[in-house]
Amino acid sequence: MAGERWRSGLLDASQAGGWAVAHCRQQFLTDSNGVLFPREWLKRQELPVLSEHGIGHFDGDPIYLLELAHPAELDGCFWQGLRQVMLQGDADIFRLLGFASQIGTWAEQHRFCGSCGSRMEQVAGERAMRCPSCEVHHYPRLSPSMIVLVTRGDELLLARSPRFVSGVYSTLAGFVEPGESVEDCVAREVREEVGVEIGNIQYIGSQNWPFPHSLMLGFHAEYRSGEIVPQPGEIEDAQWFSIDALPPLPAPRSIARYLIDLYLARRRGLAEPVLPH
C-alpha cells in the first residue's frame, strides 16, 4: 500500500547491492544498528548460507534475505526473536521480518522434494521451489486459522492456554481443517475448547501471523448455550469476564487484542481501534 515503508516484492538475487537480513528459525541477526546489514558486506562474512532471496523494498532500498543453516556467531552481533520484535520493535520492521521469516522458513523446509527426495531449485522470476526430477512445485505456505471473541452482553469469554504469558487471557483460536469452512471451524473450536455453543458469527478482519505461517481470520460471535468446560491439555482456564473487570490481555499489535478492544469500544460508544497489519 502507498506510503508504507515496507513493501514485499520479488527481487533478482543475481543483482548486487542493497541491504540484507540474516534469518534462522524465527531469529534475526542484529547489531547496534538493527537487523539490516549492507548486503555485500554480510555476504563476505563466514555464514552458513542455505539460500538467498530478494524479498522487497524498505524505504525504497532493495532488501534480501540470507537463510542460514544455524545461528552463527558474528562479532558485535546477537540473535533476536521475531516475537520480541513484534512486542518491542518498529511496526514496519516487524512487517519486513514477518515476511522474511515466512519466506526463509518455507525455503529451509523445501530444500528437498517431498515426493522423490531430490534437491529442489528456486524458480527464477517466481516465488516457488521446483523439483528437477518430478516437476513438483512448492509455493510459500499459509495456514488459515480463525480467532474469535465470544460475548454475552457485557461479558467476554476469555481463556488461557498453558503456553501463554502468566496471567494473560485471550480469545479462542484454532486451525482450519480440510473439508470445513472458516465458520465451521469457529463453531467447532469453541465447542471443543470451552464446550459452548455460539451464534451470529461475524467476520471482522484478518491479520498475517508469521508464527510460523498463519493467516488469522478474526470473528465475533454471540453466546447461545452451554456451561464452560475447558478442554484438557489445551485450555488451562476459561471464564466470563465483565468489560469492567478484565484480566491481563494479549499484546496490543495482535488481532486477539484488536477483537477485544473493538468490542469494548462499540459497547462503550467510543472511537473504534484500527486493526494492525
Of 131 and 172, nearer to Zn ion (C-beta) is 131
Shortest distance, position 130 Cβ to Zn ion, whole Å: 9
The rounded distance, in Å, linking the Cα atoms of 162 and 150 is: 20
Question: E-assigned strands of 164-276?
Answer: 172-175, 197-209, 214-225, 237-242
Cell numbers that stand for 105 in this block: 522458513
DSSP state of 254: S
Pick the piece of the chain touching Zn ion (CB under 5 A) from 106-114, 150-158, 212-220, 232-240: 106-114
Shortest distance, position 118 Cβ to Zn ion, whole Å: 5
CA separation, residue 90 to residues 38, 86, 209 (Å)? 19, 8, 16
Phi, psi of 125 (to 5 degrees): 75, 10
Among 116, 165, 246, 274, the residue binding Zn ion under the rule CB under 5 A is 116
Pick the piece of the chain touching Zn ion (CB under 5 A) from 5-13, 102-110, 112-120, 257-265: 112-120
Shortest distance, position 129 Cβ to Zn ion, whole Å: 10
Shortest distance, position 92 Cβ to Zn ion, whole Å: 38
Q: Is 115 in the site for Zn ion (CB under 5 A)?
A: yes
Q: Is 129 in the site for Zn ion (CB under 5 A)?
A: no
Q: Is 85 exposed, middle or buried (0-12, 13-18, 19+ CB in 10 A)?
A: buried
Of 131 and 190, nearer to Zn ion (C-beta) is 131
Pick out residues in 235-254 that bind Zn ion (CB under 5 A): none
Shortest distance, position 135 Cβ to Zn ion, whole Å: 7
Shortest distance, position 111 Cβ to Zn ion, whole Å: 12
Q: Is 143 in the site for Zn ion (CB under 5 A)?
A: no
Of 83 and 111, nearer to Zn ion (C-beta) is 111
The rounded distance, in Å, linking the Cα atoms of 215 and 213 is: 7
Shortest distance, position 71 Cβ to Zn ion, whole Å: 29
Cβ neighbours around 13 below 10 Å, total: 19
The rounded distance, in Å, linking the Cα atoms of 127 and 138 is: 9
Of 109 and 231, nearer to Zn ion (C-beta) is 109
Chain position carrying cell 555476504: 43
CB distance 160 to 236 below 8 Å: yes
Q: Is 123 in the site for Zn ion (CB under 5 A)?
A: no
The rounded distance, in Å, linking the Cα atoms of 80 and 77 is: 10
DSSP state of 119: B
Q: Count residues contacting Zn ion (CB under 5 A)?
A: 7
Among 123, 134, 165, 229, the residue binding Zn ion under the rule CB under 5 A is 134
The rounded distance, in Å, linking the Cα atoms of 204 and 54 is: 33
Of 116 and 165, nearer to Zn ion (C-beta) is 116
What is the amino acid identity at position 64?
Y
Among 29, 82, 93, 113, the residue binding Zn ion under the rule CB under 5 A is 113
Shortest distance, position 128 Cβ to Zn ion, whole Å: 14
The rounded distance, in Å, linking the Cα atoms of 41 and 235 is: 48
Query: Which stretches of the chain bind Zn ion, using CB under 5 A?
Result: 113, 115-116, 118, 131, 133-134
